[in-house]
Amino acid sequence: MTQTMSIDESRIDRDWWKEAVVYQIYPRSFNDSDGDGVGDIPGITERVDYLDDLGVDVVWLCPVYDSPNHDNGYDIRDYRAIMDEFGDMADWERLRDALHDRDMKIIMDLVVNHTSNEHEWFQRSRREEGEYADYYHWVEGSPDEPPNNWESLFGGPAWSYDEERGAWYLHVFNENQPDLNWRNPDVRTAVTDVVTWWLDRGIDGFRMDAISHLSKPEGYPDGDPDEHGPLGSEHYTLGPRLGEYLDELGAVIPDEAMTAGEMGGASAADAREYIERGDCLDMVFHFDHLGVDQGGDWTGDDWGEWSLPEFKELMTRNQREVARETWEALFLGNHDHPRIVSRFGDEAYRRESAKLVGTFLLTMRGTPYLYQGQEIGMTNTEFESLEEVDDAMTVGIVEDLLADGAVDSFDEVRTAVNYRSRDHARTPMQWAAADRADFTDGDPWLALNDNYTDVNVEDAVADTESVWNHYRRLIELRREDPALVYGDYELLAPEDEQIYAYTRHLDGERRLVVCNWSAEPATFESDGVAASDAEVLIGNYDSAPSDPVDAQFRPFEAAVYEY
Ligand code: GLC
């Protein structure tokens, strides 16, 4: 490959975070240093060299703040303190320094749509103490009748009655996660203070949780039963003042910081609109492409059916409407979604399909996000009963269905739970074939996936042909090749049901990516691309077809060419 290729700087808008690869850590499940069965910050610090060897540039640390853990840290009791189970602020500072010493950056999870109901703000608010009285969405009325028909994203009504205050409060998520009232300027100031406090501690940016839900309309109008999603979500998603609130947040975040907003319910066009609007969001996690395989409801058994042409259409829309015009967060999984290999790959071709997904994510336009375990091809686990599930979303939704009489037993939701549970992603990281996968010396807080004897870091690092080593090489390739970061994306053969192929062009530099996204051999119809004279940059089988045009690709074979 043309090393150090020259880029016409006037054509691209360079930023460090566009050229970065992000690694997401769910601390509870990453590495336990003190034997209590729960991952912790010193455990992460022990593994910083591991991350450096893999070659990632940024760590996104899921919440480590003080929390009663109804939603594993996404219910924050104190924004300025570290959860006891995870360590203390000195541990956090050591982690930050260990990352910075190795030229890696750290971004923190900013969870400010809601707090924990144990947060001091909520405690004071329910007692109607001074300025705090109006910090949350309170509505008075009969304890028998919630203010409107809104449903929570985690099952059941979005309102709970607080006996102490004698009023209803809003929670888009769990009842332990009351929504902050962003209409109140004091709340916005309190939040920007938190943002500044963390920036002052030397962090490099934020992943912003549930940012699409910050604004709720005056009067809390009823939800329309004909709308898609939980009742009322059309009102509490992308609400009327969201842009204004984001502008205020953006005003206290320096330009060089990286910001990625999670926007459930946003289309590609919405994502682009909020990125383009100002300087708050560099990129957005939006989820249309992850809807491709969703079953209708939790009692259905059609989960996991998806078609490659539809997936290509969704990804291509994201590339054209968001990535090309602004920037894109590239991801196929995170702590809220099943394992990528089990979902978009094929466990029968675990190694090949895990490498294919890596090839895909690391050769699209945008910033790739890897979720812990993805780099070794970790897979889903199996749940036999609701008792085995920790995930507040799954438990909330299933308990609500049981309470309503919509289902009588776990069996009726078994397929959906095993397909959708967020716990698949939260089983502990598999470090070695040793006892308890070397994740902990104690009892892991969530059961390990049994396959840790075959799928683990120690073996993967030692094996030059492993998924891990493939990821490492892909990250290196991307780092050396601006065409893979900034190049224009063009989809080839959109209707092909097995092959996902595309080109990336930048200033005369041309790359071609061919993925056989199926368990059967497939021929790459070139779709007019003159790639006969191609050079293989990387492939996931021992040798990729040297002339890709009309060549056969093996099951889940993926290769990147310069042509
Ligand atoms: C986001 C987080 C998820 C959490 C929810 C509520 O969607 O990614 O894990 O449960 O927000 O904070």
Atom 6 in ligand 1: which residue has the minimum CA distance? 74
Question: Residue 334 CA: which ligand 1 atom is closest?
Answer: 8
Q: CB of 315 within 8 A of CB of 513?
A: no
Three-class SS state of 41 = helix
Say if residue 323's pLDDT is above 80. yes
User: For residue 12, what pLDDT is reported?
Assistant: 81
Q: How far apart are CA 54 and CA 195, in angstroms?
A: 30
Name, in order, each residue with C-beta under 8 angstroms of 101's C-beta and a sequence gap of 6 or more: none
Q: Strand pairing partners for 167?
A: 162
DSSP 404-422: HTS-SSGGGGHHHHHHH-G
Q: CB of 106 within 8 A of CB of 24?
A: no
Q: Which residue has the tokens 């991307």?
A: 478
Mean pLDDT, residues 6-16: 79
Q: Which of 66, 262, 328, 438 is catalytic?
A: 262
Atom 7 in ligand 1: which residue has the minimum CA distance? 210
425 lines ligand 1 (CB under 6 A): no
Average per-residue pLDDT for the chain: 96
User: For residue 167, what pLDDT is reported?
Assistant: 98
The band of 295, judged by pLDDT with boundaries at 50, 70 and 90, is confident
Residue 197: is it exposed, middle or buried by C-beta count within 10 angstroms (0-12/13-18/19+)? exposed
Stated pTM of the model: 0.97
DSSP 178: P
Q: How far apart are CA 350 and CA 341, in angstroms?
A: 7
547 is annotated as an active-site residue: no
User: For residue 533, what pLDDT is reported?
Assistant: 83
User: For residue 528, what pLDDT is reported?
Assistant: 85
The band of 549, judged by pLDDT with boundaries at 50, 70 and 90, is very high
- Best residue among 75, 173, 233, 263 to mutate for probing ligand 1's pocket (most ligand atoms within 8 Å of CB) is 173
Helix (H) or strand (E) holding 248: helix 242-251
pLDDT in tens, 210-256: 999 999 999 999 999 999 899 999 999 999 999 999 999 999 999 99
112 lines ligand 1 (CB under 6 A): no
Residue 515: is it exposed, middle or buried by C-beta count within 10 angstroms (0-12/13-18/19+)? buried
64 Cα: distance to centroid of ligand 1 (angstroms)? 14
57 is annotated as an active-site residue: no
5 Cα: distance to centroid of ligand 1 (angstroms)? 41
429-443 burial: b if 16+ Cβ within 10 Å, else e = bbbeeeebbbbbeee
Compare 446 and 296 and report the one with higher pLDDT.
446
Maximum separation of any 2 CA atoms in the chain, in Å:
75
Q: How far apart are CA 340 and CA 331, in angstroms?
A: 10
pLDDT in tens, 237-250: 999 999 999 999 99
Q: CB of 534 within 8 A of CB of 563?
A: yes
Helix (H) or strand (E) holding 523: strand 522-523
Q: Strand pairing partners for 535?
A: 562
Q: How many CB atoms lie within 10 A of CB 321?
A: 16
- Beta strands (DSSP E) in 391-457 are none
